[in-house]
Structure 1
């Protein structure tokens, strides 16, 4: 009897504990973002025994992202931090022997290059430079490092004025602009100067500038004998007005003799010399001056001869090449059906998958992303995640098909204390043609299919990008507020082959709108959507399609148009990449064919709009300038449409780069929709 009482007591206690635990599990909320940790940019050692990765977090006190470096063995042992603080550590690269790493950090005030001796744990800065370094690359003999850095030049002046008297306070100097591209989103007004390549002893000392001239030089890569480098540059002097024409050059680091290896039109990106020194691989395409052009893998002899495409069997854009140690194949990044992955391709074009579900450290929308690295023995490291789990460190081996191993579980306790909305993948047949459209449905925590929920259609930007089953705090926050959130990849999205993406070249917006409406119809048909409470939003290219949609239909109860293009004519003359957009997204300049610009501009449909509309744009957005938002807001007001305009203070195009601005964006969107819900008192 006493035994039964003890068992009963334990059972009751366990039930009570379980009930408390269940009670403590709450829907994902704003402040949970600051508890998230992400694996980013894993770098595996040359022998495959050790990985150094960035651990990314967002600081609640400074409202900014920061990262530290952590080390872990391939078998999961030896997990420990290498740095601590908010110095912004990154750009890790291993020395050829694996005895040292180089990285960048601003822990001493400005961004500098550091070397860490892995056995002793001693680290030291080896530079004292004024412009941030990037693209670090060890020489194969371990004696030197390459890096790129911005070199300012003197700005033009006109005339002269007297100096202010001592103690006087005059207005600051005027800004003189004489470059076609004079401001960039996220960086503000462009400083005069160019990016150059530098050579630095691995023990420090004064760096040597290897390149010169009024040209940008990027993506340096060593030859295996450490005597020369290859890089890309457009040295025509026309790069600012004629983008996408960088060529590959070979530079002798001893004599500075420069040899141009390519000469055909089109970008030549990320050149890399094979370990045996015989070949150079790069990505690019034959430029047809269109919005989407699929990037291919090219291989040529080291002297630039016998150039050929080896990626014909890969109907996706490719990037981030890494040679296999035997020089017989290359690893590369690609996206397929919204799934970011790594592949391997032989020199004759044979393709094999390596890893998938790559993930980034974003707190914004569910775009594809993520990096990888490969050791000489085929071991690899990736940041991998799911729709409900942030990026963690995963390792594997190619071509040996060992099971991948997850080495980190940074968010284990947080994931036990919060509830995310379930994310499910679907496809729908296009009502226009034979295309099939992939989409995802995120249901609220504690979803009950017998109930009717309001729907938010959230549209990606780009437009040549893709969403996928990727962890998205932004989407999850909307779902936690009781909305079914739907996102899709309409035609024009990447990861479905060239034909699908190219459809909207010189044809945007168009039937991509129909694809999105097909998705909404398919979700409504599932039976758990309140058809009186359909809402629509999207940012950048998604803002374009949102504004286009409410000019085509009144089915949505309210809309939020974020950082849109409203008038293509004005956009191509004010955006930060004006020389690209006017040349690649349209066939003529605006004044040569204004009708071409107007017929695809949402402003042309504003007379049809009845939908209550909020507009949200960053105060310093130079990609889709604030003037685009202001045009649409004024037009809506003149039409008598219920409209509100929100400027996100201090933000550029990437509103979600700061957690507080992400919170504001989500709160404004859902708050606007709540205000316009049908049936609410």
Structure 2
């Protein structure tokens, strides 16, 4: 069969298979399948049921909406989930025996998360409330005229949302499954997270910071709460980011993942276990120099909600680990033994594990497969494919298998990937595009990436690298970018380019392009201000001026200090590391793409760069994307995601 090249519209052809959840009997499961719909320019998702004995896959929910976070009731007869079928996310329940899903909540604001109670008669959940309101408060009539907003805290806005309501907090409530009666459990004027419910139904673990001043406070203490008496025991109270809590099967141990502030937000995450019998916690993965969790980036996967840890009955823990571009499932015992449970060169982006640890359910993607659901016998590694949602599409398209490359830059060992054009012909030369990831603490890896395949299909070679600052190598490596933006990371990227130009005669070094988003956008700006080797560049959701970024970004005042090791008392350092300072040096035609509701890297960063370059007579254009945030390329409106790809490929076609 003559296969065709990948197109931009293949975003609508592939399906994202995520969030596998085993039933209590370990003989059946559910997962979520999401696809982009061109007709109504939206994401549609549905819950699918899998009979693990027969392999039969049955769709359980229908309609033009998004569903997420399916969870089985303790008796395995029902599945609860979140759905936006009535505009905001509310809690629904569907019977295994069949029938329509029914709504359990109709709260004023969206439901954020939920957990079943052990009795199966109620479900705990979280949602936002104004002070004095309850989850039963009816929707108030909106003010006729706009009202001013008083801001008193530095953490006052979020990406896409903008300015947050100043008297609104996340609270915990519960709903009676039979009667749909909703009650509040927390009411204090603080944000609460629902982390876990014990198997005996007597305890919650919640996250709550009750400090009055939190502008420079990055702690969310984990608190064990007796549901009946509301007596609290603090499990953890330190600066850092911790969560993904799970009780062991007998409730003695409480596992959680996270990291302290030793290296600010680039500290690698670990798995911790708290013992209720002695109140002591231990770091189970302290000996691993790689981050716990999934640090791999992809533009295809939707709703990749994976558990932080999963306990088995024999007190083993399973978790994801990101290393060398791979995301694998690992297992650990309480006495310190740790071993990989899945193979190499793939992206295990979702999982669940049978109680007896006989097998795991895995959602897995590779560089040439968008992802499916598998059953893997843990002892033997034998794997059975359970779904085939992307099989028909894979038979129609020709995908390029990226080649893994390794090279050195000084004392640093760097990993990356090189793709040839889809219809590569020996003896011909081709332009090459260098892609730079954001973060900078993310990781390119062994997963399907639609954008890379589109570029290859249009006749470009693609080089993407994990320079210093990337996750998945070591703590020293990921920390090396702090205080050195535009330094070693820039050198690593240019050294990677030199390496492939030296070894790959098919690359036309007179036709080089570069692009990236967020940190990758910053680096694109930096590169064209420091070299003229590239003939075209596309910068996306970028930073151009650290001085203004400090005050306009929702993370600016602390991120700048953490990563540049300077603030507004050291403006010279901020300006020295700002690409805008070097705008006069830019000779590369530069396309600037930015979302209007990006509050992580606000659009004024793009505006400053564009106006400055135009004023200097440089070759540049600026494209603004309405109703879009920092994650537009991954979760934005489908038509705008297509438009973004058209802009990128159009610019490179014009200049390369």
Give the TM-score normalised by structure 1. Answer: 0.88
Q: 1:625 aligns with which of 562, 578, 602?
A: 602
Instruction: Note if contact 1:312-1:349 (Cα within 8 Å) is conserved in structure 2.
Output: no
Number of the residue aligned with 1:350: 337
Q: 1:377 aligns with which of 337, 348, 356?
A: 356
Is 1:508 the counterpart of 2:485? The answer is yes
Cα pair distance change 1:358/1:617, threshold 3 Å: farther
Q: 2:616 aligns with which of 639, 662, 676?
A: 639
Give 3-state SS (helix, strand or coil) of 1:554's partner.
coil
Offset of 1:77 from its aligned partner?
Answer: 2.2
Q: 2:587 aligns with which of 587, 592, 610?
A: 610
Number of the residue aligned with 1:485: 462
Cα pair distance change 1:303/1:184, threshold 3 Å: farther
User: C-alpha distance in 1, partners of 2:86/2:598?
Assistant: 30
User: C-alpha distance in 1, partners of 2:572/2:132?
Assistant: 41
User: C-alpha distance in 1, partners of 2:99/2:376?
Assistant: 27
Number of the residue aligned with 2:262: 288
User: C-alpha distance in 2, partners of 1:562/1:402?
Assistant: 41
**RMSD of aligned alpha carbons:** 2.2
Is 1:408 the counterpart of 2:387? The answer is yes
Instruction: Note if contact 1:262-1:304 (Cα within 8 Å) is conserved in structure 2.
Output: no
Offset of 1:170 from its aligned partner?
Answer: 8.5
Tell which deviates more after alignment, 169-178 or 496-505.
Answer: 169-178
Is 1:517 the counterpart of 2:499? The answer is no
Matches within 5 A, 1:130-529: 130-153=108-131, 172-192=146-166, 193-239=168-214, 241-288=215-262, 290-302=264-276, 305-319=279-293, 320-326=307-313, 328-355=315-342, 370-378=349-357, 379-398=359-378, 400-430=379-409, 432-433=410-411, 435-525=412-502, 526-529=504-507
User: C-alpha distance in 1, partners of 2:216/2:287?
Assistant: 30
Q: 2:553 aligns with which of 575, 578, 587?
A: 575
> CA offsets per residue over residues 572-621 of structure 1, 9 Å max, x none?
2111223431442243431x111221222212222322111111101211
> CA offsets per residue over residues 317-364 of structure 1, 9 Å max, x none?
2144334233522111221111122211111321111235798xxxxx
Number of the residue aligned with 1:539: 517
User: C-alpha distance in 2, partners of 1:412/1:325?
Assistant: 32
> CA offsets per residue over residues 465-504 of structure 1, 9 Å max, x none?
0111211112211111111111111110001121110111
Instruction: Note if contact 1:558-1:612 (Cα within 8 Å) is conserved in structure 2.
Output: yes
Cα pair distance change 1:474/1:146, threshold 3 Å: same
Give 3-state SS (helix, strand or coil) of 1:370's partner.
strand
Instruction: Note if contact 2:442-2:470 (Cα within 8 Å) is conserved in structure 1.
Output: yes
> CA offsets per residue over residues 80-133 of structure 1, 9 Å max, x none?
110111121111111223222111122345422122221344532222222222
> CA offsets per residue over residues 24-69 of structure 1, 9 Å max, x none?
x321112222121121111121222112111110001122212001
Offset of 1:561 from its aligned partner?
Answer: 1.1
Offset of 1:302 from its aligned partner?
Answer: 1.9
Tell which deviates more after alignment, 595-604 or 520-529.
Answer: 595-604
User: C-alpha distance in 1, partners of 2:381/2:342?
Assistant: 12
Instruction: Note if contact 1:440-1:469 (Cα within 8 Å) is conserved in structure 2.
Output: no
Question: Gapped runs of 5+ residues in structure 1?
Answer: 1-20, 156-168, 360-367
Number of the residue aligned with 2:530: 552
Instruction: Note if contact 1:151-1:196 (Cα within 8 Å) is conserved in structure 2.
Output: yes
> CA offsets per residue over residues 247-281 of structure 1, 9 Å max, x none?
11111212223332333333332232222222222
Give 3-state SS (helix, strand or coil) of 2:236's partner.
coil
User: C-alpha distance in 1, partners of 2:76/2:551?
Assistant: 49
User: C-alpha distance in 2, partners of 1:348/1:297?
Assistant: 13
Cα pair distance change 1:605/1:204, threshold 3 Å: farther
Tell which deviates more after alignment, 57-66 or 577-586.
Answer: 577-586
Offset of 1:303 from its aligned partner?
Answer: 6.5
Matches within 5 A, 1:49-88: 49-75=27-53, 77-88=55-66
Give 3-state SS (helix, strand or coil) of 1:383's partner.
strand
Instruction: Note if contact 2:595-2:628 (Cα within 8 Å) is conserved in structure 1.
Output: yes
Offset of 1:508 from its aligned partner?
Answer: 1.8
Instruction: Note if contact 2:9-2:642 (Cα within 8 Å) is conserved in structure 1.
Output: no
> CA offsets per residue over residues 450-476 of structure 1, 9 Å max, x none?
210001001100100011121111221
Q: 1:90 aligns with which of 63, 68, 82?
A: 68
User: C-alpha distance in 2, partners of 1:234/1:584?
Assistant: 22
User: C-alpha distance in 1, partners of 2:619/2:127?
Assistant: 49
User: C-alpha distance in 2, partners of 1:503/1:232?
Assistant: 31
User: C-alpha distance in 2, partners of 1:410/1:212?
Assistant: 44
Is 1:589 the counterpart of 2:589? The answer is no
Cα pair distance change 1:34/1:357, threshold 3 Å: farther
Instruction: Note if contact 2:320-2:327 (Cα within 8 Å) is conserved in structure 1.
Output: yes
Is 1:41 the counterpart of 2:19? The answer is yes
Offset of 1:232 from its aligned partner?
Answer: 1.4
Number of residue pairs matched? 629
Cα pair distance change 1:579/1:326, threshold 3 Å: farther
> CA offsets per residue over residues 553-572 of structure 1, 9 Å max, x none?
11001111111111112112
Instruction: Note if contact 2:329-2:341 (Cα within 8 Å) is conserved in structure 1.
Output: yes
Number of the residue aligned with 2:82: 104
User: C-alpha distance in 2, partners of 1:476/1:603?
Assistant: 32
Offset of 1:511 from its aligned partner?
Answer: 0.7
User: C-alpha distance in 1, partners of 2:565/2:6?
Assistant: 46
Give 3-state SS (helix, strand or coil) of 2:528's partner.
helix
User: C-alpha distance in 2, partners of 1:357/1:647?
Assistant: 40
Instruction: Note if contact 1:533-1:557 (Cα within 8 Å) is conserved in structure 2.
Output: yes
Number of the residue aligned with 1:673: 652
Give 3-state SS (helix, strand or coil) of 1:318's partner.
coil
Number of the residue aligned with 1:8: none
Cα pair distance change 1:75/1:524, threshold 3 Å: farther
Offset of 1:546 from its aligned partner?
Answer: 0.7
Instruction: Note if contact 2:320-2:348 (Cα within 8 Å) is conserved in structure 1.
Output: no
